[in-house]
Amino acid sequence: MWLSLKKKSDNPYNAAFRQMALNHNVRTSRMLTAIIGMVGLILVLISQYSTANNVLKYPSEYESAIKFIFFTSAICFFSFYAGKKMSEEWRLKAYKIISDFYAIIIVISSLWLTFVMQHNPSNTMSIFVLGIITVAALWIFDKMQSLIIAVFILILFDGGLHYFQTDSCKLFTNYITGTCVSVFFVCISRACFSVNYKHFLQLKKIEDDNKDLTRLNQIQTNILSVVAHDLRTPNNNVISLIKLLKDPMVSPADKDEFYDMILASCTSSNEIIEDLLNIARNEFQDGKLEYSNVGLFLETALVNYKKINNFSQQISFKPPPGKYFSRMNARKMQRVIENILSNAAKFSTADAMINVELSTESGKNIILIADNGIGIPLDLMPHLFSRFSKAGRKGLKGEDSNGLGLSICKLLMEQQQGELSVESQEGKGTKVKISLPVA
């Protein structure tokens, strides 16, 4: 079945194919204008010699046809270069007109040469058919363009007959021949269109398949990244709490609290695993955002983190007066806060102070976590949010880092319509700014 872009279709590749067809037609036209123009120039020069008149049967008519080919090719050739100065929209329209026009020029030229050489196209149509095949095979026309050119061929052919022939019988025979040539052109053009279109679809599908494979590989990398990074935090929490439970001096009340914290860490691990499963099923959802008091959440998160982890640094946080509400996912915000505090502890001395502030600015609730640690070198700043980047460094106590923490934090904040930014100066500390829209 022949294909057409004019019919209604849900195929998303049609617009891309039209652009590809236009680029193809322009390249073809440019190439032929250069080749035919040079050949035409050579033949015009040759025709100036007296010997050419002995070779050609109709020298004056032949020379006129050659000059027509040469000059129209030259005009089209220079028109393409003139079109480069236009805006993109007008340049594409001009290129389409020029390339289609030159296809018609080739048809006219081949028919003209056929008439000139024989003065009776019923005897031989080799040059005309060659021109028709050239246009049908080298240009990519949609159905409407093919039909318009076919009608033009038929009118041109039948009209030219009256200039050379008057015999009614021969005229009728040539009318039939002209109709067959027009139909032949449409058949070749549609067949070539179909081949090009199907080939284009195959390439696009291969390209999409490659994109899918790349995306799946990225998902796999993300899963491994989260397994290596995020699951380690709740597991370390469980290990730390179990060590504390082994202390005989721990009171029953503290034990109950530690058991609750272990349960919370295991629950957090299960939630992370569920996220991984959702990613693997390509059904990952950003998580439900709930109306939350940011101040109360932050106070609880800081206390729990310091209690669970071996966190020797002091945390300075004074809940500001008033209530700060945002829509957020508490579990994901907890992971963000834990990652940032972990980095602050990793790159600060044991007696350092971690300052945490909460404020409102330009319709956003701002959480600012600042340390006085070793800071981040200037050359590493552009790589902070790249996964497995060279921004990953060992902590002051030799703690390992794979350069994932801030990239995951940024992703989690984006899923909550929030933002995360980092300011740092080597030797003077780091400030991490978290912002959430005020609810």
* Domain 286-437 coded CATH 3.30.565.10: yes
30: amino acid identity, one letter: R
Helix (H) or strand (E) holding 429: strand 429-437
- Predicted pLDDT of residue 52: 47
Alpha-carbon distances of 415 from 326, 337, 406, 420, rounded to whole Å? 14, 15, 14, 11
**Chain centroid offset of residue 329 CA:** 30
Alpha-carbon gap, residue 3 to 25, rounded angstroms: 18
Q: What are the structural domain ranges in the chain? A: 14-209, 230-284, 286-437
Helix (H) or strand (E) holding 356: strand 353-361
Report the 10 Å Cβ neighbour count for 300: 13
Per DSSP, the three-state class of 83 is helix
- Model-level pTM greater than 0.85? no
Residue 348, C-beta contacts closer than 8 angstroms, at least 6 positions apart: 313, 354, 371, 372, 373, 374, 396, 429
- Predicted pLDDT of residue 70: 80
| Per-residue tens of pLDDT for the chain, all 439 residues | 334 444 444 567 788 888 888 888 888 888 888 887 777 677 667 666 645 444 445 456 666 777 787 888 888 888 888 877 788 778 888 888 888 888 888 888 877 777 666 555 544 567 778 888 888 888 888 888 888 888 887 787 766 666 655 566 666 776 777 778 788 888 888 888 889 889 888 888 888 888 878 877 776 776 666 666 667 777 888 888 888 888 888 888 888 888 888 888 888 777 667 656 655 554 445 567 889 999 999 998 888 888 777 677 888 888 888 888 999 988 889 888 988 888 888 888 888 889 999 999 888 999 999 998 888 888 888 877 776 555 556 666 655 555 557 877 888 888 888 999 999 888 888 999 999 999 8
C-alpha distance across the termini of the chain, in Å: 57
Place of tokens 């039939």: 176
- Predicted pLDDT of residue 395: 61
Written as six digits, the tokens of 134 are 């050239």
Yes or no: say if 60 and 66 are a contact pair by the CB < 8 Å rule: no
Residue 167, C-beta contacts closer than 8 angstroms, at least 6 positions apart: none
- Predicted pLDDT of residue 37: 72
Alpha-carbon gap, residue 310 to 336, rounded angstroms: 18
- Predicted pLDDT of residue 219: 66
Q: What is the pLDDT of residues 309-360, one digit of tens each?
A: 767 788 888 888 888 899 998 888 988 898 888 888 888 888 888 999 999 9
Per DSSP, the three-state class of 281 is coil
Alpha-carbon gap, residue 422 to 383, rounded angstroms: 11
Phi-psi region of 390 (alpha: psi -120 to 50; beta: other; left: phi over 0): alpha
Tell me the H-state helices in 230-293: 232-245, 252-280
Place of tokens 């291969």: 206
Residues β-bridged to residue 359 = 366
Q: For Cα atoms 87, 90, 93, give the angle at the middle one, nearest 5 degrees.
A: 145
Alpha-carbon gap, residue 6 to 392, rounded angstroms: 55
